[in-house]
Structure 1
């Protein structure tokens, strides 16, 4: 597998450069040690464009963590929660506050995600500035800057922007949500004509198809990001021109002939140790192999598995009973015994509910000697160790449980199909003449579940949950569909409209007077 893009590199004064990224978690004395003109080579410190680009790719690795930006997107939604189990997983209420929408500007996950994402934005900007006449490197960096900035816009609603030529002691200017969205679209428009088309061995790099995917995602959410700050939770008005453009972006990917919906019975192959070879859908990934895992997926199974299972997990996060119960029981996305895994370590793919077994079919027990039975009910503050349904989206690799070869998936083809269906239902016109009903039901047929009628927006949101659970999209989807603030298990009351964006970390506010706290915080 091609994973060289993601190898961690050491750039001169990297720590100091990160400090300039939207006033992150480094202090002012560090920020003053290296000016941006020096960083770009005009002050005598030369930075190789290719090495600088590798640094931007390496910044993607933080997405594979179970915390930070992934936690902000998932724990706040209707499909994930992190219950406290005795003295385990309390962590000063970190996980409960995310699920219950009671966070503030001092929340550690909110701070760390802000720093990670803004560091990625600045690293990309720095690469663009040193790319000189290398159009290929510049285009890759523009895509990556758009990628990181998309998440800053989505989570925080405003973006500090420091150009590489700015003085080190200058406060970064701040783009509001609308202006930042335009900035992202401009980066993508510049990058797409230059980027190469993806191949089976380069889906860990920026490509035309990955950029078209991100373009469609931004256009679908444009109504949210252009919304008045006075009414951040909507209702939203989705412009026909944006929906038409999103459909065109999706059609470009579809017409490439490089991807197709995974065949029936192969859903979990997209997340398996050999998903590089098995997946027909993965558009943009972090490539891993057993010798190097820059985007290690081990967090995705350790965070839920019980101590008695293989691998012995951290016994943490669970899904919500209502989310699990919303699936058709014939849906293969619910889970299965995965060949070469379940028969060797006992662990199944998908949702783990009820009695758990080892590879020989022997019933497992918890630490007290009781049957290990995962139950749908779970109290967020006082859960026993077997409460809650666990989720194994990524399939563990026997013999390589800590260093699996599963590629970490950002973008995949089923999402393209669902984005196109949604854009059609929101008023877009498809030049190919496809209907939302056919798009969704063809997908459902490949997931071993019956066709559904009608296919309306409510059905699209549900299908996105069935298809994309635990992939980091749920909060984004729920906001766009207007359900994010609704009560769910362990959050009994409707949340305030202002919760559709997170607060700007207090330290960032203290460091940059151009930032203003979001309403409601």
Structure 2
């Protein structure tokens, strides 16, 4: 897990939660971003983009959004992956205000908000302001989604001022304003690592679709989806569609969105982290390392698994469940997608465990006591083997994706299902089948809420959106494998870190904690 230095944590605590902070005069996470009180430097905006690197970690934001759901868990395997219960507590919904990843995620996201605010405050260029506004909206969206409150420190405020706190509904309005400004000023981008008009539109779709969750009078619902909000989702989705810049990958090409050459090959990816062999800010390798067994090529950390029920929600012919990928499977034996059963290495050699037993990934898994081979693994991202089958550090330049065209289409379908009107006359059924059929899944005859949630899971698994979706559909607290009882709706929000509550009187601990 990524370590955060004591100095960085202390600075973020003072910056975001306490009164009397003078100025951000320490470098955080090693980036060239310092609050000197002077004019904007050209490295400042890059520092905000670099903060996105934490989103590609296997821990923190990603873990909070995935391990708490029906599609991921981190089983303890003997003495491996115990980590003081950090992964188990996320899956069983038993975290507390002192949980390490709850605290670290709060720091990472709020640092991103503040860095972006500094750039917006000083930039004279609308382009820079617009990019920073999009990034601030992205970070604050995650804060609002996970914690329900967003501390905000105005760079022009007096040093003695306690940071204000936006409650969930007003923070959502703040995010929308940032994105509207970004959408009005941005154009296309050279790659997915630069904020664009389409990225702002895609994130606006997500904000409006979840607005009912963020404005509900009771945490966890029930939710009332306003027709006006659903129409906004449709409006912005149609803008992305009308741009003509994005499309679904054709049959047999789903995993092209996540492969080593997705920068050049994917027409689906809208925004994320642009990686090259020389610049690997988004650690896409975490996504394959966290599931690979020690004896596979490349070797991994033998950690996280999916749940058998989630795997079984895919039809056998659905390519999203798993395929032999050219240049990967023929070189090292690894398949793209879900890995279950006997595993193979280079030259199609059947692999073994460290004990010498066959390496057979099994659907059954125990969160507390698993063997090294239990659990279905997921390889949505994967490395690019060299010609000789070796995998080296320069094999990790897959772009890391946050926003995709397929997600926008499914959000549009859901918004229509929830009462919105599409001026183009599309139906939820037509949109969903346009995604399913090329993937090799059977066309649906009707689309219910359960169908829509399931399809989002099949299309977007392991991309960091499952918790968000489950909450919106009222299913987050349902029992799942290794969590046999329903949990309280207050668990749809994480607690504010206790140290933040203790040092900022404007923060109030969330209900249930």
- State if a TM-score over 0.5 links the two structures: yes
**RMSD value, Cα:** 1.9
- Kindly indicate whether the alpha-carbon contact (under 8 Å) linking 2:191 and 2:263 is maintained by their aligned counterparts in 1: no
- Kindly indicate whether the alpha-carbon contact (under 8 Å) linking 1:204 and 1:287 is maintained by their aligned counterparts in 2: yes
| 1:379-421 deviation line (CA, Å, top 9, x unaligned) | 1000000000000010212145434110000111100110000
2:244 to 254, 257, 264: 257
Bigger Cα displacement from structure 2, 184-193 vs 383-392: 184-193
Change (3 A) 1:211 1:156: same
Alignment map for 1:490-509 (pairs within 5 Å): 490-509=482-501
Structure 2 distance, partners of 1:396, 1:511, is 44
Bigger Cα displacement from structure 2, 287-296 vs 14-23: 14-23
Structure 2 distance, partners of 1:115, 1:496, is 26
Look up the match of 1:157. 148
Look up the match of 1:519. 511
- Kindly indicate whether the alpha-carbon contact (under 8 Å) linking 1:353 and 1:390 is maintained by their aligned counterparts in 2: yes
Alignment map for 1:294-313 (pairs within 5 Å): 294-313=281-300
Look up the match of 1:219. 208
| 1:119-170 deviation line (CA, Å, top 9, x unaligned) | 0000010000111x31111111111110000000000000000011123332
| 1:399-454 deviation line (CA, Å, top 9, x unaligned) | 45434110000111100110000000000000101111111101111211110121
Structure 1 distance, partners of 2:57, 2:36, is 36
Structure 2 distance, partners of 1:266, 1:205, is 24
Structure 2: runs of 5+ lacking an equivalent: 1-6, 27-32
1:194 to 185, 191, 195: 185
Alignment map for 1:339-358 (pairs within 5 Å): 339-358=326-345
SS of residue in 1 equivalent to 2:272 = strand
SS of residue in 1 equivalent to 2:210 = helix
Matched, 1:116 2:108: yes
TM-score by length of 1: 0.92
Look up the match of 1:8. none
- Kindly indicate whether the alpha-carbon contact (under 8 Å) linking 1:21 and 1:118 is maintained by their aligned counterparts in 2: no
- Kindly indicate whether the alpha-carbon contact (under 8 Å) linking 1:155 and 1:502 is maintained by their aligned counterparts in 2: yes
Change (3 A) 1:401 1:317: farther
Structure 1 distance, partners of 2:416, 2:410, is 10
1:373 to 360, 371, 378: 360
Matched, 1:285 2:276: no
Look up the match of 2:132. 141
Matched, 1:22 2:13: no
- Kindly indicate whether the alpha-carbon contact (under 8 Å) linking 2:73 and 2:306 is maintained by their aligned counterparts in 1: yes
Give how far 1:32 is off: 3.6
Give how far 1:23 is off: 2.7
Structure 1 distance, partners of 2:301, 2:222, is 40
- Kindly indicate whether the alpha-carbon contact (under 8 Å) linking 2:191 and 2:274 is maintained by their aligned counterparts in 1: no
1:106 to 79, 87, 98: 98
Bigger Cα displacement from structure 2, 456-465 vs 93-102: 456-465
- Kindly indicate whether the alpha-carbon contact (under 8 Å) linking 2:9 and 2:107 is maintained by their aligned counterparts in 1: no
2:38 to 34, 40, 46: 46
1:383 to 370, 374, 383: 370
- The count of corresponding residues between Structure 1 and Structure 2 is 495
Matched, 1:327 2:321: no
SS of residue in 1 equivalent to 2:403 = strand
1:318 to 283, 305, 329: 305
Alignment map for 1:269-280 (pairs within 5 Å): 269-280=256-267
Bigger Cα displacement from structure 2, 276-285 vs 66-75: 276-285
Structure 2 distance, partners of 1:108, 1:170, is 28
Structure 1 distance, partners of 2:8, 2:299, is 36
Structure 1 distance, partners of 2:13, 2:180, is 29
Structure 1 distance, partners of 2:196, 2:114, is 21
Alignment map for 1:227-266 (pairs within 5 Å): 227-228=216-217, 231-266=218-253
Look up the match of 2:447. 455
Bigger Cα displacement from structure 2, 391-400 vs 142-151: 391-400
Look up the match of 1:10. none
2:415 to 391, 411, 423: 423
- Kindly indicate whether the alpha-carbon contact (under 8 Å) linking 2:13 and 2:500 is maintained by their aligned counterparts in 1: no
Look up the match of 2:68. 76
SS of residue in 1 equivalent to 2:228 = helix
Structure 2 distance, partners of 1:17, 1:252, is 41
Give how far 1:52 is off: 1.3
